[in-house]
Structure 1
């Protein structure tokens, strides 16, 4: 379920609601990418609650597969919310998040205000 399209600093962003289908496989990511393309969004914002727990366990490869699909279709992905319980349990995930946040494809941000700041610059 999406909330709708918003423009943040001239960037069209598809905002997903907290409620809705869980992203548990690549196909779920493709559905969001398709919706983003249909609505003309350059970025998709997905609350942390919408991801299957396996997304935060790098050994499952779900995060890598989902992020790769977004990169393949050149749609930005912003994972919004508190993931501290996941990063506290995994230094590999902490490193992964840090690396993602260095680029312009996938960001892990605490809230939409942080996303607004990142899209500004």
Structure 2
């Protein structure tokens, strides 16, 4: 795993590059984000859709809700970059819409958009 630190608008953002699935379950996900925060000195992160297990995008598992709630509780911000049109679930589309309307978690189509969003909230 490689972490690039990008500074925009006086805000540091950690961009994670990896071929691995990094978020598999709630307990290990929070450890991952806490370690990422400590190592990078950032509280804003950009990850790819592929860094999350497929269960994350199945809202019935509760994984997304639990992981994202922990991030918000610890004042971290996250942008997930990918093509979310591959999912047909209306509830997931509504969830993504709601997240994108907030100030903490975003599902975007490019790293550039993710960095822009995280550096402006």
Distance 1:112 1:65, change over 3 A: same
**Segment drifting more, 45-54 vs 31-40:** 31-40
- Equivalence map 1:72-83=2 (5 Å): 72-83=73-84
Instruction: Please provide the CA RMSD for this pair.
Output: 1.6
Any conservation in 2 of the 1:46–1:77 contact (CA below 8 Å)? Answer: yes
Equivalent in the alignment of 1:105: 104
Any conservation in 2 of the 1:29–1:69 contact (CA below 8 Å)? Answer: no
- Equivalence map 1:1-121=2 (5 Å): 1-38=1-38, 39-86=40-87, 89-121=88-120
Distance 1:105 1:96, change over 3 A: same
User: TM-score by structure 1 length?
Assistant: 0.88
Distance 1:94 1:57, change over 3 A: same
User: TM-score by structure 2 length?
Assistant: 0.88
Q: Secondary structure at the match of 1:93?
A: helix
Distance 1:120 1:24, change over 3 A: closer
Q: What residue ranges of structure 1 are gaps of 5+ in the alignment?
A: none
- Deviations, residues 21-54 of structure 1 (Å, cap 9, x unaligned): 4311112321332123312212111100011001
